[in-house]
Amino acid sequence: MKTTVTKPNILLVLAVLVLISYIWITNKRYEHTIDTKYKTEIDSLNRAISGYQQHQIILNKKISDKELVIKELDHEIDSAKQAIIQERKYYGEKIKNAGRYTPTELNSFFSERYN
């Protein structure tokens, strides 16, 4: 198939080129309009996200501090539990032997324990 260069063919090619150019230019304008329309909104959202990220860092620091306090309190609770266990053992033995105490030893035991 051979195409000949005729006036209608040239006009057809020119019309297609004009149509393609028109579509390309209007598409660029539309993209530019979208870009400028949403750029401000995107920048605003990015600033908000940045603010939330900074706030999250502060909250994470507070959580970390609270976790450290909790660990310290857990350690104090464990130490108190151990002290209670030792006291129970110590006084448990003394109470078992309380039946063999003389009145003076009993008096000394109670005054020592409750003072």
Q: How many CA atoms lie within 13 A of 22 on its CB side?
A: 6
Please say if the pLDDT value at position 10 is more than 80. Answer: yes
The conformation of residue 52, written as its DSSP 8-state character, comes to H
Q: pLDDT category, 111, cuts 50, 70, 90? A: confident
Q: How far is CA 91 from CA 13, 61, 78, 85, in A?
A: 109, 45, 20, 10
Residue with tokens 């350690």: 75
* Residues 6-25: b if buried by 16+ CB within 10 A, e if exposed: eeeeeeeeeeeeeeeeeeee
* Per-residue pLDDT reduced to its tens digit, 21-77: 888 887 766 666 667 778 888 889 999 999 999 999 999 999 999 999 999 999 999
DSSP 18-44: HHHHHHHHHHHHHHHHHHHHHHHHHHH
Average pLDDT of the residues in 75-92: 93
Which pLDDT does position 107 carry in this prediction?
A: 82
pTM for this predicted structure: 0.49
Q: How far apart are CA 111 and CA 75, in angstroms?
A: 31
> For position 66, what pLDDT does the model report?
97
Average pLDDT, rounded, for the chain: 86
